[in-house]
């Protein structure tokens, strides 16, 4: 594929069809294979999409495979204990996503009979599911022609349509996403964009830096995320501990531990008994 080609940023441009053809040709030749692409059952896609939020694919794949063996459906996930949940999630980061995943499973089991809805608005009502994730689930699980933007999609369109522009807004990209959508198979189309976006990131400067919506991820070391993860790891398979004991065992300062413990308790990860904390 000619990665240096520029296309006209107009939905009615003849370039749209050529762009679509080239992206699909790239996917046919260089598309990647992942277990959640082979297993497109709604539960499989739902789990993978939540795992892939802000986490690299190489870290997700082995965790996903183990998860699907241990927790094969919404009903089994809904019954999972917090300790088991965090144990299975260990290494993926952002542990609140695991709690949201289980809470979503509880809702799907109770309100939808264990069947994931295929409507973006209903999916967005589930914990931890925003508009882009809801749309991607509809595309990958149900092959629906939804229109959405996420980081890899944004990267592709900026590279090919806005390379000579300054700051680019998503509202300028969305019409192009809709116009170019391969409606015969939205699932293949978005997989192609994801793969191409990943490749473009490895080939040079990140086009997303031109995006008005671009933000850098904060460093992990010394962050509140680091403290939260250390607390959850320290409390797995152990009796209740005080914040002082947790601080000593993790090597993280007491003030950071105390703040993170308060957050985790409020979010439902931890339970408190007489000044000690344990997994709920």
pLDDT at 216: 60
Q: Which one, of 194, 179, 196, lies nearest residue 22 by Cα?
A: 196
Catalytic residues: 49
Q: Which two tokens stand for residue 108?
A: 């799907």
CB-side exposure of 184: number of CA atoms within 13 Å? 3
> Kindly report the CA angle at 15 between 179 and 29, in degrees rounded to 5?
90
Spell out the domain ranges in the chain. Answer: 15-33+145-210, 41-142, 224-279
The answer to whether 152 touches 198, Cβ cutoff 8 Å, is yes
Nearest residue to 158 (alpha-carbon basis) of 200, 190, 191, 216? 200
CATH of 224-279, one of 3.30.365.10, 3.40.50.10860, 1.10.3720.10, 1.10.10.10: 1.10.10.10
Please enumerate in sequence order all residues whose Cβ is within 8 A of that of 234, keeping only pairs 6 or more positions apart, or say none. 241, 246, 249, 250
Topology at the third CATH level for domain 15-33+145-210: Endonuclease Iii, domain 2 (1.10.1670)
The pLDDT score that the predictor gives to residue 204 is: 72
Architecture field, domain 41-142: Orthogonal Bundle (1.10)
Per-residue model confidence as pLDDT tens digits over 132-166: 999 999 999 999 999 999 999 999 999 999 987 77
- Output phi, psi for 168, to 5 deg: -115, 130
* Host H or E run for residue 273: strand 270-273
**pTM, to two decimals:** 0.81
| Angstrom distance (rounded) from CA 30 to CA 20 | 15
pLDDT tens for the 280 residues of the chain, in order: 777 788 888 888 889 999 999 999 999 999 999 999 999 999 999 999 999 998 899 999 999 999 999 999 999 999 999 999 999 999 898 899 999 999 999 999 999 999 999 999 999 999 999 999 999 999 999 999 999 999 999 999 999 999 877 788 889 999 999 999 999 999 999 999 999 999 998 877 667 665 656 666 667 677 888 888 888 888 887 888 888 888 888 889 888 988 888 888 888 888 888 888 988 8
Token representation of residue 227: 């403290």
Say how many Å lie between the first and final Cα of the chain, rounded: 52
Alpha helix (H) ranges present in the chain?
15-30, 35-38, 42-51, 57-70, 74-78, 82-89, 96-112, 120-124, 131-142, 151-161, 170-180, 186-203, 224-234, 243-250, 254-267
């Amino acid at each position: 594929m000619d990665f240096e080609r520029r296309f006209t940023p107009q939905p009615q441009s003849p370039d749209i069809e050529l762009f679509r053809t080239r992206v699909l040709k790239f996917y046919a030749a260089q598309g990647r294979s992942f277990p959640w692409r082979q297993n497109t059952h709604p539960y499989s896609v739902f789990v993978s999409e939540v795992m892939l939020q802000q986490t690299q694919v190489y870290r997700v794949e082995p965790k996903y495979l183990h998860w699907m063996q241990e927790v094969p459906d919404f009903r089994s996930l809904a019954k999972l204990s917090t300790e088991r949940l965090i144990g299975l999630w260990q290494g993926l980061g952002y542990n609140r996503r695991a709690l949201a995943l289980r809470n979503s499973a509880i809702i799907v089991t109770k309100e939808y009979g264990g069947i994931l809805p295929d409507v973006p608005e209903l999916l967005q009502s589930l914990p931890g599911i925003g508009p882009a994730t809801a749309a991607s689930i509809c595309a990958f699980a149900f092959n629906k022609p939804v229109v959405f933007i996420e980081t890899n999609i944004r990267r592709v369109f900026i590279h090919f349509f806005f390379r000579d522009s300054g700051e680019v807004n998503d509202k300028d990209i969305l019409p192009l996403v809709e116009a170019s959508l391969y409606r015969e198979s939205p699932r293949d189309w978005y997989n192609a964009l994801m793969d191409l976006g990943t490749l473009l990131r490895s080939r040079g400067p990140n086009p997303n830096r031109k995006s008005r919506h671009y933000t850098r991820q904060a460093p992990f070391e010394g962050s509140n995320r680091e403290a939260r993860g250390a607390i959850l790891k320290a409390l797995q398979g152990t009796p209740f501990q005080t914040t002082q004991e947790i601080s000593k065992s993790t090597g993280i300062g007491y003030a950071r531990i105390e703040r993170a413990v308060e957050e985790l308790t409020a979010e439902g990860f931890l339970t408190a008994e007489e000044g000690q904390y344990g997994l709920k």
